[in-house]
Amino acid sequence: MTPQQIISKVAVLQSAAKKMLNDIIFDYRVVPPKEPFCEWCDQGWPKFMPDKESGIYLLSSQEDKVIYIGKATKSNMGAEVWGKFNKYRLDSNGKKEFYQNRFVLVKSSPEIRDAIQQGKVFLTFLIIDPAEMASLLEVYLQTTCYVQNDWPELNQRIG
């Protein structure tokens, strides 16, 4: 699935919840990617990216396929995402290499592993209000991907 397809699933859930579930009401705002993670990660956490907010983040490949669905529920989006990549070093060509990323132990294709290690992935953020709904949305989106046989390669389980 692409990030846009995932976002459309959030809109469907939001609409259904408003009609049928009076207690499950949430709003969301999308922050699309500006450039690959490796292009902005050494600038600290830039102002154009959500930092102290809660919600869902989608990690996608250069081919626009979602490879990971994650959440931040404690107004810590920046710390949550940065914690997945950790630190980087420069390789012999002066390019960033995320050698201690949390995805290194996940079974994935060589293309995805290389993209993660090089930071050549894109982040789409869905800022969720109230923050408590981020967990519900994460499980809903992962379950939707599972049912449609389009499981994000780096997710290991639902939730």
pLDDT digits (tens, 9 = 90+) for 29-43: 999 988 999 888 776
119 is a domain residue: yes
159 is a domain residue: no
- Containing structural domain, residue 140: 3-147
158 is a domain residue: no
154 is a domain residue: no
90 is a domain residue: yes
What are the two backbone dihedrals, phi and then psi, of residue 132, each rounded to the nearest 5 degrees?
-60, -20
User: How confident is the model at residue 133, as a pLDDT?
Assistant: 93
Q: pTM here?
A: 0.91
Task: Count structural domains, the chain.
Answer: 1
Under the phi-then-psi rule, with left for phi > 0, alpha for psi from -120 to 50, and beta for the rest, what region is 138? alpha
> Between these two residues, 153 and 159, which has the higher pLDDT value?
153
102 is a domain residue: yes
152 is a domain residue: no
120 is a domain residue: yes
Q: Highest mean pLDDT range out of 48-62, 105-119, 134-148?
A: 134-148
How far apart, in whole angstroms, are the C-alpha atoms of residue 115 and residue 145?
21
